[in-house]
Amino acid sequence: MYHTHVLISHFLFSDNPNYTETRSDAVFANNEISLGDIDIYGFDYDYTLALYKPALHSLIYKLGGHALVENLKYPKEILSLDYKEDFAVRGCHYDVRKGLLMKLDSFHNIQLGTVYKGTRQLSDTAVKSLYNGTHVALDDMNSFYGTGPLMYQLVDLFAPPEMILLTNITDFFLDNNIPYDPEYVFHDVRSSVQGVHNSGALHSAIMQDLDTYVDKGNEIKALLESLVQNSKKLFLITNSGFPFVPFRMLDPTTQNESYDRVYRLVQGKVYQQDPSLKSGWRTGAIIPELEKETLIMNSADYHTAVNWLGQLENLIEISQMDKSPETSSIRKQWLDERHELRNYTKSLFNPLFGSIFRTYHNPTYFTRRLARFADLYMSSVVNLMQYSPDHTFYPRRMALPHEPHNMDN
């Protein structure tokens, strides 16, 4: 058994990587979809047509902190706490009552090693004690969005500043022995960050310094012109929330909604509310993090580690049939090596939380939502320019646990 380990390891760590790189400017399919069947394209504004620089997150963090101090009388010292840009990843869940930030997989399991109270990591033993294991009950995540009374997923593109604000305030209270209720702090931070958007303060700050916050380029214009040249109709849509309700026409003069049924969309008119999935719209998600993650996945270090991890897990599983002391000792070494490899691949994406798409072996809850709501996803909407207007996207066939492994290609 040990000699098998040596031979496989030697093969995987040779200088002949046998893998296909993933293009960072590709479009990825969850469902089969033909662009030739699409006559009308609707575009969200933020992070789709309007691309922002990382400085925007620092601005949201700063404005949210000022709102907490000025409106809710939080200690002014929190204004001096630094914005930790690389601390968290999008899609983490926040346990509102326990005040813990963590990453969950698509089956509601907590990824051990990703649970933090402020910047203090909880031990695996502490996590299992708090949750009676690692599974989060369905009742705590029972809404359409996977957000329940106890767990809130910080998933949108403006979520990182909110997570860092929660983390820094928690650290401040703990470091200074200030009693606090995590649930109150969560709702205070949430309302303050949302208020930055709703009050117009954020938009005003952006308009005053476009060069700092807006990533300008001609690619969006080229994409829109290309679609028009191919006889596609275009419209701008805001990212309204659910529940699903029919469109209603809005009078921009009076700001009143029409009581009449909408039978067609007319150029130059404004409509509001969001029936997208209910009406069978095909949807695409913009995931800027894809660009960085695909570059990491294309690295030789990542491929070598993942390939060896898969082979190592096969060896561990097979070796369980042999109960001899020698094999048991080797298997213990393999389990330790597996633990190190899993932490290594995680650290390549983010030292604390890993990839936004995957826990150690399962998809994340973020990935589950992505598959549920988006037919296509890409790092930027301009990636569509890589494809002809009648291109058909086909999802990859992925092997189920009971199917042969050679089917997942």
CA distance 116 to 391: 44
Phi, psi of 377 (to 5 degrees): -145, 155
Q: Which candidate in 37, 44, 156, 175 is catalytic?
A: 44
Contact 368, 374 (CB under 8 A): no
Residue 169's H or E segment, with its range, is: helix 159-175
> Does the annotation mark 301 as catalytic?
no
Q: Which of 37, 46, 375, 390 is catalytic?
A: 46
From residue 337, alpha-carbon distances to 309, 330, 362 in Å are: 9, 11, 19
44: annotated active-site residue: yes
The label of the residue with tokens 């690389």 reads 86
DSSP string, 212-277: HHB---SHHHHHHHHHHHTT-EEEE---PPSSP---EEEETTTTEEPSSPP-S--TT-EEES--TT
The CA distance from 334 to 313, in Å, is 8
Cα–Cα distance measured from residue 126 to residue 132, given in angstroms and rounded to the nearest whole number: 10
Q: Which long-range contacts (CB under 8 A, 24 or more apart) does 108-115 make?
A: 108/135, 108/136, 108/137, 108/138, 108/141, 108/365, 109/134, 109/135, 109/136, 109/359, 109/362, 110/134, 110/135, 110/136, 111/354, 111/359, 111/360, 113/343, 113/346, 114/352, 114/353, 114/354, 114/359
Residues marked active site are found at 44, 46
